[in-house]
Amino acid sequence: MKVGRSAAPLLLTSLLLWQVSYAVDSSQVLRQLSAMRPGFFVAAVMLMLLSNAVATLRYQAVLRTLCPDGPVHYFPLLKLNLLTLFSAHFVPFGALVDAMRALISRRLLKMSVGKAVEGVIADRALAVAGFALFGLLLLPLQISMHWPWRIVMAQIAAFGGLLVLLGVAAFGLTLHVRFLKSAAEAARRFLGHIATCHSLGWQLGLAAVSTGLFVAMLVLLGLGLGLRIPLWVAFTTTPAIYLSQVVPIFYAGFGSREIAFAALLVPSGVLVDSDAVALSLSIGLCNLAASVPGVIFAWPLLQALRGKAIAPAVK
> CA–CA separation, 74 vs 315, rounded Å?
5
* CB burial of residue 19 (10 Å; 0-12, 13-18, 19+): exposed
Alpha-carbon span 293 to 81, nearest angstrom: 10
**What pLDDT shows up at residue 184?**
66
Q: Which of 125, 138, 95, 122 is nearest to 233 (CA)?
A: 138
**In terms of Cα–Cα distance, which of 186, 167, 242, 244 is closest to 212?**
242
Supply the pLDDT for residue 247: 58
Dihedral angle over CA of 190, 195, 197, 198, nearest 10: -40
Residues 305, 39: Cα–Cα separation, whole Å: 37
What dihedral do alpha carbons 295, 253, 56, 124 form, nearest 10°? Answer: -130
3-state secondary structure of 253: coil
DSSP result, 37-67? -HHHHHHHHHHHHHHHHHHHHHHHHHHHHH-
pLDDT one digit per residue (tens) for the chain, 315 residues = 444 444 555 555 566 555 555 566 677 888 888 989 999 999 999 999 999 999 999 999 999 988 888 788 898 899 888 888 888 777 766 677 888 888 888 888 888 888 888 889 889 889 999 999 999 999 999 998 888 899 999 999 999 998 988 888 777 666 655 556 666 677 777 777 777 788 888 999 999 999 999 999 999 999 999 988 888 889 999 998 888 877 554 444 556 777 777 778 877 777 777 888 888 889 888 988 998 888 777 666 666 666 554 444 444
Q: In this predicted structure, what is the pLDDT of residue 4?
A: 46
DSSP state of 251: B
